[in-house]
Amino acid sequence: MAGFIFLPPQNSTNALESALACGGIAPEGPFMESNAFKSMSTDKLWSLHEQMTSILARKIAEEKTKLEERLCRLENANSAIGPNRPRRAYPKVLPKYQNPNNTAETWSGRGRQPHWVRAQLTAGKKLEHFLIAQPSIERRHILKMARTSA
User: Do residues 118 and 60 both lie within one domain?
Assistant: no
Q: Report the percent of the chain where pLDDT is more than 90.
A: 35
- Report residue 18's pLDDT band, with 50, 70 and 90 as the boundaries: low
User: Do residues 75 and 105 both lie within one domain?
Assistant: no
User: Do residues 71 and 114 both lie within one domain?
Assistant: no
Q: If we measure between CA atoms, which residue out of 101, 92, 99 comes closest to residue 142?
A: 92
Q: Look over the chain and give the mean of its residue pLDDT values, rounded to a whole number.
A: 77
User: Do residues 21 and 66 both lie within one domain?
Assistant: yes
- Span 141-148, average pLDDT: 68
- Report residue 117's pLDDT band, with 50, 70 and 90 as the boundaries: very high
79 has a pLDDT exceeding 60: yes
- Residues 6 or more apart from 108 whose CB is under 8 A from it? 93, 94, 95, 96, 97
Structural domains of the chain, count: 2
Per residue in 33-47, pLDDT (tens digit) is: 567 778 889 999 999
User: Which domain, by its residues, includes 51?
Assistant: 4-81
C-alpha dihedral sign at 97, 99, 103, 108: negative
User: Do residues 8 and 77 both lie within one domain?
Assistant: yes
Q: If we measure between CA atoms, which residue out of 7, 17, 19 comes closest to residue 58?
A: 17
- Angle at the Cα of 121 from the Cα atoms of 120 and 123, rounded to 5 degrees: 65
Identify the three-state secondary structure at position 31: strand
Element (H, E) at 139: helix 136-149
User: Do residues 105 and 67 both lie within one domain?
Assistant: no
92 in any annotated domain: no
User: Do residues 60 and 36 both lie within one domain?
Assistant: yes
Give the pLDDT score at 85: 67
User: Do residues 70 and 13 both lie within one domain?
Assistant: yes
Give the distance between the most distant pair of CA atoms in the chain: 105
87 in any annotated domain: no
